[in-house]
Chain A
Amino acid sequence: MMSISTDTTTNTKRQDDVAGKPLIELSEIRFSWPGGTLPVLEIDHFHLGHDESIFIRGPSGSGKSTLLGIITGILLPQDGDVVVVDRRINDLSGAERDRFRVDTMGYIFQMFNLIPYLNIVENVILPCQFSKSRKAQALRNSSTLEEEALRLLSHLNLGGSEVQDKVVAELSVGQQQRVAAARALIGGPRLVIGDEPTSSLDSEHRESFLRLLFEECSRMGSSLIFVSHDIDLAPMFDRVVELSEINNAPDGTAGGKE
Chain B
Amino acid sequence: MKQIALLTLKSTRNRKFTIFLTVLSIGLSVCLLLGVERIRTESRASFINTISDTDLIVGARSGPIQLLLYSVFRIGHATNNISWQSYQEIAEFPDVSWTIPISLGDSHKGYRVMGTSKAYFEHFRYGRKQSLQFKNGGVFDDLYDAVIGSEVAVKLGYDIGNSVVISHGAGDVSFIEHDDKPFKVVGILTPTGTPADQTIHVSLGGIEAIHIGWADGSAPSGLTISAAHARRLNLTPKTITAFLVKLNSPIATFKTQRAINQYKAEPLSAILPGVALQQLWELIGIAEKALIAVSVFVVVVGLFGMLTALMTSLNERRREMAILRSVGARPIHVFSLIIAEAILVTLLGIGVGVVLLYGLLVVAQPLLITQFGLFITISFLSLYEIMLIGLVLKAGVLAGIIPGWRIYRYSLNDGMTIKT
User: Do these two chains really belong together in a complex?
Assistant: yes
Determine whether the beta carbon of B3 is less than 8 Å from that of A130: yes
Say how far A72's CB is from chain B's closest CB, in angstroms: 6
Determine whether the beta carbon of B3 is less than 8 Å from that of A129: yes
| 13 examples of A-B residue contacts, CB within 8 angstroms | A69-B415, A69-B417, A74-B415, A95-B330, A98-B330, A98-B331, A102-B328, A103-B328, A116-B320, A127-B328, A129-B328, A130-B3, A258-B417
- Proximity string of chain A (81-117) to chain B, C-beta cutoff 8 Å, 1 when within and 0 when not: 0000000000000110011011100010110111111
- Proximity string of chain B (320-363) to chain A, C-beta cutoff 8 Å, 1 when within and 0 when not: 10111111111111000000000000000000000000000000
B416 / chain A contacts, CB cutoff of 8 Å? 68-69, 72, 74, 107, 109
- B44 CB within 8 Å of chain A: no
- Proximity string of chain A (127-140) to chain B, C-beta cutoff 8 Å, 1 when within and 0 when not: 10111000000000
Q: Which residue of A69, A74, A110, A126 contacts B327 across the interface (Cβ within 8 Å)?
A: A126
What are the 8 closest A-B residue pairs judged by CB atoms, nearest first? A102-B328, A130-B328, A117-B14, A74-B415, A107-B326, A129-B3, A98-B330, A127-B327
Residues of B267-314 at the interface with A, using a CB-CB cut-off of 8 Å, are: none
Residue with the greatest number of chain A CB neighbours at <10 A, chosen from B14, B326, B331, B418: B326
- B11 CB within 8 Å of chain A: yes
A94 to B328, CA, bound (A): 11
Determine whether the beta carbon of A118 is less than 8 Å from that of B10: yes
Say how far A235's CB is from chain B's closest CB, in angstroms: 28
- B13 CB within 8 Å of chain A: yes
- A234 CB within 8 Å of chain B: no
Say how far B1's CB is from chain A's closest CB, in angstroms: 11
B319 / chain A contacts, CB cutoff of 8 Å? 112
If A98-B325, A98-B331 are given as contacts, then 13 extra A-B residue pairs at C-beta distance below 8 Å, sorted by A number, are: A69-B416, A95-B332, A98-B328, A107-B416, A110-B418, A112-B319, A112-B418, A115-B323, A117-B13, A117-B15, A126-B324, A130-B327, A131-B328
B322 / chain A contacts, CB cutoff of 8 Å? 109
A131 / chain B contacts, CB cutoff of 8 Å? 328
Determine whether the beta carbon of A130 is less than 8 Å from that of B329: yes
A122 to B15, CA, bound (A): 18
B13 / chain A contacts, CB cutoff of 8 Å? 117
A98 to B333, CA, bound (A): 11
* Residues of chain B whose beta carbon lies under 8 Å from any beta carbon of chain A: 3, 7, 10-11, 13-15, 319-320, 322-333, 415-418
Determine whether the beta carbon of B330 is less than 8 Å from that of A94: yes
A95 / chain B contacts, CB cutoff of 8 Å? 330, 332
A116 to B316, CA, bound (A): 11
Say how far B329's CB is from chain A's closest CB, in angstroms: 6
- A183 CB within 8 Å of chain B: yes
Residues of A203-220 at the interface with B, using a CB-CB cut-off of 8 Å, are: none
What residue of chain B has the Cβ atom nearest to residue A117's Cβ? B14
A21 to B43, CA, bound (A): 81
B327 / chain A contacts, CB cutoff of 8 Å? 102, 107, 126-127, 129-130, 183
What residue of chain B has the Cβ atom nearest to residue A111's Cβ? B418
- A10 CB within 8 Å of chain B: no
A74 to B417, CA, bound (A): 10
What residue of chain A has the Cβ atom nearest to residue B330's Cβ? A98
- A27 CB within 8 Å of chain B: no
What residue of chain B has the Cβ atom nearest to residue A110's Cβ? B418
B415 / chain A contacts, CB cutoff of 8 Å? 69, 72, 74-75
B323 / chain A contacts, CB cutoff of 8 Å? 109, 113-115
- A244 CB within 8 Å of chain B: no
What residue of chain A has the Cβ atom nearest to residue B326's Cβ? A107
A72 / chain B contacts, CB cutoff of 8 Å? 415-416
What residue of chain A has the Cβ atom nearest to residue B2's Cβ? A129
A65 / chain B contacts, CB cutoff of 8 Å? 417
Determine whether the beta carbon of B11 is less than 8 Å from that of A117: yes
Determine whether the beta carbon of B418 is less than 8 Å from that of A109: yes
A101 / chain B contacts, CB cutoff of 8 Å? 326, 328
B324 / chain A contacts, CB cutoff of 8 Å? 115, 126
A118 to B320, CA, bound (A): 11
A96 to B320, CA, bound (A): 21
Say how far B112's CB is from chain A's closest CB, in angstroms: 66
Say how far A34's CB is from chain B's closest CB, in angstroms: 10
B14 / chain A contacts, CB cutoff of 8 Å? 116-117
Say how far A220's CB is from chain B's closest CB, in angstroms: 16
A75 to B412, CA, bound (A): 9
A113 to B330, CA, bound (A): 18
What residue of chain A has the Cβ atom nearest to residue B316's Cβ? A116
A118 to B326, CA, bound (A): 16
Residue with the greatest number of chain B CB neighbours at <10 A, chosen from A101, A112, A129, A258: A129
A117 / chain B contacts, CB cutoff of 8 Å? 10-11, 13-15
A114 / chain B contacts, CB cutoff of 8 Å? 323
B329 / chain A contacts, CB cutoff of 8 Å? 98, 130
B332 / chain A contacts, CB cutoff of 8 Å? 95
What residue of chain A has the Cβ atom nearest to residue B319's Cβ? A112
Say how far A116's CB is from chain B's closest CB, in angstroms: 6
A98 / chain B contacts, CB cutoff of 8 Å? 325, 328-331
B326 / chain A contacts, CB cutoff of 8 Å? 101, 107, 109
Say how far A41's CB is from chain B's closest CB, in angstroms: 14
A102 to B333, CA, bound (A): 14
Residues of A172-218 at the interface with B, using a CB-CB cut-off of 8 Å, are: 183
Say how far A227's CB is from chain B's closest CB, in angstroms: 12
A103 / chain B contacts, CB cutoff of 8 Å? 328
A102 to B332, CA, bound (A): 15
Determine whether the beta carbon of B328 is less than 8 Å from that of A115: no
A113 to B416, CA, bound (A): 11
A131 to B322, CA, bound (A): 17
Say how far A135's CB is from chain B's closest CB, in angstroms: 11
A51 to B270, CA, bound (A): 101
Determine whether the beta carbon of B328 is less than 8 Å from that of A99: yes
B10 / chain A contacts, CB cutoff of 8 Å? 117-118, 122
A79 to B15, CA, bound (A): 45
